[in-house]
């Protein structure tokens, strides 16, 4: 019981302020100073202090971090550290009490600040962040709750540094060594490299940019939609903002850390060059995204359009409309075809049972036309991938449905909760997966018929499409003139990927391309020093990305390097990022005319991705690619150990 307890012989605990994974915070009085001024006491608890060497290691770490906090406290926008001490094998920090209110009180949900107000806030934060970075410190947890506006003067004060949290997350063994820490930060404000435990200065810049977008849009960062292909945040249509300021924010929150501003001082200088109140506002500025994987895979050598139909439907008109980019007419034609096939023209909407019975040949034919002529922007398969990335399943609830509708632009307004066909945009500035949009009419038809299950139509269509993908066998004469089946182009073996006699092998690496462990190290050792130098010049990459180098001393001509996700329980888009690894590797294989490629079980080693789950993602992505493109003759999954081998065999049998 801490209340009224006196710590360090002088700090009397008066009340409990808060707590979390790093420890507990208390309001205290300093009994050694006149008037007993109030202060903040933070109690930090290392995980292991039972062993003497572990306690000594924790003590050294604590002292080192305290020195950093003393140095940081010299800035007016950072709480001063008055003291640090150890008592009963627990560690305490005594800091200045900041009187004021948290910034999150100014950023209420649904309340949008104007551009000048947001620029003012960001400048305030960046001024102190510039100082922090000059001390070689990364905060790692910038968010409205960790910014307090002083009652006197009104300046923002940055609190709760990630450095002190690190003491709690260290796992200290008997030898005094520490393991890699888990990701420190808050969901929504934490970029992908920080989730992987590798924060950079630009990680803090990302958090500040997200905070700015939150202030402009009135949306919680976890509700901000992302581009399903590039993973960039899509937000401009939610706010009234000038193109200059929007460009600055976009660069601050780039998914790839190399594309962001690299210092807080640089961002501050750019913001200071703007003239508040003189910027011309624009609405719904389209976001420039990276080239989609689907676009990379479309080429002049793609097989002719498959216009097959189980019901004798002629898809020529739909194809011609899509080829001419007449998106609205194509959307109407799609809806008309699906109603005609289902015998629901008079009712003008489809029920769950109609979708469940819809012929797979026709559903896939419609989708392939949309995907091809929109260059990967629109289609049922695109919508299905987005649905699954949000956690959508056959029995998903309304929350998932609303997130899906907002992500693809069917719900637009900050306060809107209902999808509407009025929100449809019939051009390529629309969000990924925005079309086909005929499902919106089906939503309302089901709403009238069964108010409590109207949203199920989305999950039913997504489930139907996935079922069709898993069961549909392409027509040999059209898709694969030299292959009898997808299965004949996939092989599962147990062995050493370094020894594979293929055109390219895939190297699962980290964001630094370090060659530091596991398969990554084995490939570097076999390829020789030239591969290490090539990777050094590349400078690393973001999770899910892929790049290609020569194979050098390897039997394989090429090495495709991809950054796999670190498993953190499944709540940080690990599935989607692993799928992106396979898609991007296959896109490079297509581009470099690679005929045979070998994959290891990406991320299942030190990165901890469950092998059974990873194998299904791998096989599903390879299947999806091979169904559409016949350039790759053989994909080999190289497994290490019987367990991995069995999982991949089972995935192939189940999915193919």
Residues of the binding site for ATP: 42
β-strands 240-242, 23-30 pairing? unpaired
Binding-site positions read 42
The answer to whether residues 363 and 380 touch, using CB atoms and an 8 Å cutoff, is: yes
- Helix/strand/coil for 85: strand
Catalytic residues: 141
How many CA atoms lie less than 13 Å away from 127 in the CB half-sphere? 14
Judge whether 605 and 638 are in contact, CB under 8 Å.
no
Who's near 172: CB < 8 A, 6+ residues apart?
46, 47, 48, 54, 57, 58, 178
Give me 441's structure tokens.
């009419």
Place of tokens 């937000």: 235
Residue among 5, 98, 99 nearest 43 (CA) = 5
Distant-in-sequence, close-in-space partners of 488: CB < 8 Å, separation ≥ 6: none
Beta strands of 231-365 (E only): which ranges? Answer: 240-242, 281-283
| DSSP letters spanning 69-84 | HHHHTTSTTSPPEEEE
The DSSP result for 376-389, as a single string, is TSSSHHHHHHHHHH
3-class DSSP assignment, residue 210:
helix
Q: Give the contacts of 273 (CB within 8 A, at least 6 positions apart).
A: none
Length of the chain: 656
Phi/psi of residue 298, nearest 5 degrees: -85, 125
Contact call for residues 541 and 511 (beta carbons, < 8 A): yes
Helix (H) or strand (E) holding 633: none
CB 140 within 8 A of CB 204: yes
Q: Is 170 in contact with 21 (CB distance < 8 Å)?
A: no
């Amino acid at each position: 019981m801490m209340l009224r307890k006196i710590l360090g012989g002088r700090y009397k605990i008066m009340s409990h302020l808060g707590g979390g994974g790093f420890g507990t915070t208390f309001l205290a009085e300093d009994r050694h100073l006149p008037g007993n001024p109030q202060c903040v006491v933070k109690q930090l608890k290392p995980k292991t202090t039972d062993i003497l060497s572990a306690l000594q290691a924790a003590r050294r770490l604590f002292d080192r971090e305290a020195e950093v906090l003393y140095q940081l406290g010299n800035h007016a926008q950072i709480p001063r550290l008055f003291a640090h001490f150890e008592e009963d094998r627990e560690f305490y920090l005594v800091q200045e009490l900041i009187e004021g209110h948290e910034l999150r009180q100014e950023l209420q949900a649904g309340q949008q600040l104007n551009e000048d107000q947001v620029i003012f806030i960001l400048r305030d934060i960046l001024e102190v962040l510039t100082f922090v970075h000059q001390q070689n410190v990364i905060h790692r947890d910038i968010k409205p709750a960790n910014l307090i506006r002083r009652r006197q003067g009104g300046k923002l004060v940055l609190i709760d540094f990630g450095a002190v949290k690190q003491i709690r997350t260290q796992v200290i063994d008997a030898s005094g060594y520490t393991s890699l820490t888990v990701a420190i930060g808050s969901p929504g404000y934490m970029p992908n490299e920080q989730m992987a435990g590798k924060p950079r200065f630009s990680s803090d810049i990302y958090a500040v940019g997200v905070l700015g977008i939150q202030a402009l849009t009135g949306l919680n960062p976890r509700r901000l939609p992302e581009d399903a292909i590039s993973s960039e945040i899509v937000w401009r249509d939610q706010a009234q903002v000038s193109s200059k300021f929007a460009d600055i924010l976009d660069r601050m929150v780039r998914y790839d850390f190399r594309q962001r501003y690299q210092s807080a001082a640089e961002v501050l200088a750019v913001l200071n060059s703007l003239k508040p109140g003189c910027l011309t506002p624009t609405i719904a500025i389209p976001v420039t995204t990276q080239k989609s994987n689907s676009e990379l895979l479309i080429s002049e050598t793609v097989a002719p359009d498959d216009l097959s139909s189980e019901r004798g439907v002629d898809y020529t008109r739909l194809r011609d409309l899509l080829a001419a980019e007449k998106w609205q007419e194509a959307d109407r034609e799609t809806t008309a075809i699906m109603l005609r096939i289902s015998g629901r023209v008079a009712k003008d909407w489809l029920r769950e049972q109609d979708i469940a019975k819809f012929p797979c040949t026709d559903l896939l034919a419609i989708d392939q036309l949309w995907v091809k002529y929109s260059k990967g922007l629109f289609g049922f398969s695109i919508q299905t991938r987005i649905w699954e990335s949000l956690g959508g399943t056959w029995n998903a609830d309304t929350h998932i449905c609303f997130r899906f509708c907002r992500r693809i632009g069917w719900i637009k307004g900050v306060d809107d909760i209902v999808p509407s066909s009025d929100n449809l945009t019939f051009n390529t500035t629309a969000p990924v997966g925005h079309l086909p949009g005929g499902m919106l009419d089906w939503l309302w038809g089901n709403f009238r018929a069964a108010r409590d299950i109207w949203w199920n139509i989305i999950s039913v269509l997504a489930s139907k499409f996935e079922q069709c993908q898993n069961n549909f066998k392409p027509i040999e004469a059209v898709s694969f003139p030299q292959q009898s089946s997808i299965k004949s182009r996939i092989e599962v073996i147990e062995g050493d990927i370094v020894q594979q006699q293929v055109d390219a092998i895939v190297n699962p690496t980290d964001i630094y391309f370090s060659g530091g462990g596991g398969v990554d190290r084995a490939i570097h050792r076999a390829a020789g020093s030239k591969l290490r130098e090539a990777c050094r010049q590349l400078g690393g990459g973001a999770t899910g990305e892929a790049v290609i180098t020569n194979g050098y001393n390897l039997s394989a001509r090429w090495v495709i390097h991809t950054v796999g996700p670190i498993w953190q329980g499944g709540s940080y888009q690990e599935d989607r990022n692993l799928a992106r690894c396979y898609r991007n590797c296959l896109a490079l294989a297509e581009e470099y005319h690679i005929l045979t490629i070998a994959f290891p079980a990406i991320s299942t080693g030190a990165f901890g991705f469950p092998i059974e789950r990873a194998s299904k993602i791998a096989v599903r992505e390879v299947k999806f690619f091979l169904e559409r493109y016949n350039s790759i003759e053989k994909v080999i999954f190289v497994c290490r150990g019987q367990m991995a081998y069995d999982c991949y065999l089972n995935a192939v049998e189940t999915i193919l």
